[in-house]
């Protein structure tokens, strides 16, 4: 299984390219770091790679096939602000169901307590909420995970617990991960290779 960005170009404002002619490939089971200065386009790249934004040029291919237009997306994105990624009017159980059948074992690995399922998002800490976003993203048919500053706002212990769980799961399921982060030390610890955007 391979996720490929082939000659992609993207802009928000006509002809003001954020990137162009960009090629990138990640294989199943790889954990690739992406680092670079603020504003260089890392988040934009993650959004294009996961199918949230459509590039003006080039294609995103999963095993040589374009990403599905609808239905469950095999490339999942988890970003920095879990509070913006969940519906504030849904209890956590419903949010989890958005990702399909609830996998109890996954919840346990991620340290999600049963009693949190009946809570509203604003009744959880940032770290607790992020665990739900990770669980929702790691449904059984997820093949690649884009983790965009996934643990940046969390304390060191929570950061380490979440990454520990994620690395366990992706290893078991041979999921590829693109980890976007400002933290070179974190990327050095978890990644098989790291790319730097200048
Ligand atoms: N929705 C948008 N509309 C217009 N311009 C945008 C939009 N989102 C981002 N940009 C611009 O695109 C450029 C790349 O932004 P992006 O968020 O991808 O960078 P980044 O490398 O992830 O930055 P950071 O490390 O600060 O998160 C920036 O100049 C930003 O101002």
Q: Sheet holding 75-78: strands in order across?
A: 75-78, 144-148, 176-180, 31-35, 193-196
Structure tokens belonging to residue 170? 């992706």
Structure tokens belonging to residue 92? 């956590």
Domains of the chain and CATH, by start: 2-196 (3.40.50.300)
Check residue 163 and give its pLDDT.
96
Query: Looking up tokens 């212990």, which residue turns up?
Result: 157
| Complex prediction ipTM | 0.96
pLDDT average per 10 residues of sequence, the chain (198 residues): 97 95 97 95 96 96 92 92 95 87 89 96 96 93 96 92 95 97 94 92
The answer, yes or no, to whether any atom of ligand 1 lies below 6 A from the CB of 41, is yes
Check residue 102 and give its pLDDT.
80
Q: Are 153 and 85 in contact (CB under 8 A)?
A: no
Q: Are 149 and 181 in contact (CB under 8 A)?
A: yes
Q: Are 182 and 33 in contact (CB under 8 A)?
A: no
Closest to 148 in 3D by CA, of 81, 52, 59, 51: 81
The per-residue DSSP string of 121-134 comes to GGGS-HHHHHHHHH
Distance from the alpha carbon of residue 86 to the mean position of ligand 1, in angstroms: 22
The per-residue DSSP string of 106-123 comes to HHHHTT--GGGGGS-GGG
The answer, yes or no, to whether any atom of ligand 1 lies below 6 A from the CB of 29, is no
Pocket residue to mutate for ligand 1, from 44, 49, 196, most atoms within 8 A of Cβ: 44
Eight-state DSSP code of residue 192 = S
The answer, yes or no, to whether any atom of ligand 1 lies below 6 A from the CB of 15, is no
The answer, yes or no, to whether any atom of ligand 1 lies below 6 A from the CB of 44, is yes
């Amino acid at each position: 299984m391979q996720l490929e960005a082939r000659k992609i170009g993207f802009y928000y404002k006509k002809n003001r390219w954020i990137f162009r002619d960009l090629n990138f490939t990640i294989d199943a089971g790889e954990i690739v770091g992406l680092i670079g200065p603020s504003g260089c386009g890392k988040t934009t790249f993650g959004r294009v790679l996961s199918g949230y934004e459509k590039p003006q040029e080039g294609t995103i291919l999963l095993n040589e096939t374009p990403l599905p237009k609808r239905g469950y997306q095999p490339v999942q994105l988890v970003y920095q602000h879990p509070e913006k990624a969940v519906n504030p009017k849904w209890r956590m159980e419903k949010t989890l169901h958005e990702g399909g059948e609830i996998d109890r074992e996954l919840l346990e690995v991620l340290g999600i307590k049963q009693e949190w399922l009946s809570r509203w998002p604003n009744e959880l800490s940032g770290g607790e909420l992020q665990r739900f976003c990770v669980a929702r993203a790691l449904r059984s048919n997820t093949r690649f995970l884009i983790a965009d500053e996934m643990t940046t706002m969390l304390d060191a212990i929570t950061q380490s617990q979440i990454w520990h769980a994620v690395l366990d799961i992706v290893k078991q399921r041979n999921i590829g991960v693109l980890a976007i982060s400002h933290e070179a030390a974190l990327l050095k610890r978890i990644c098989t290779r790291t790319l730097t955007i200048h």
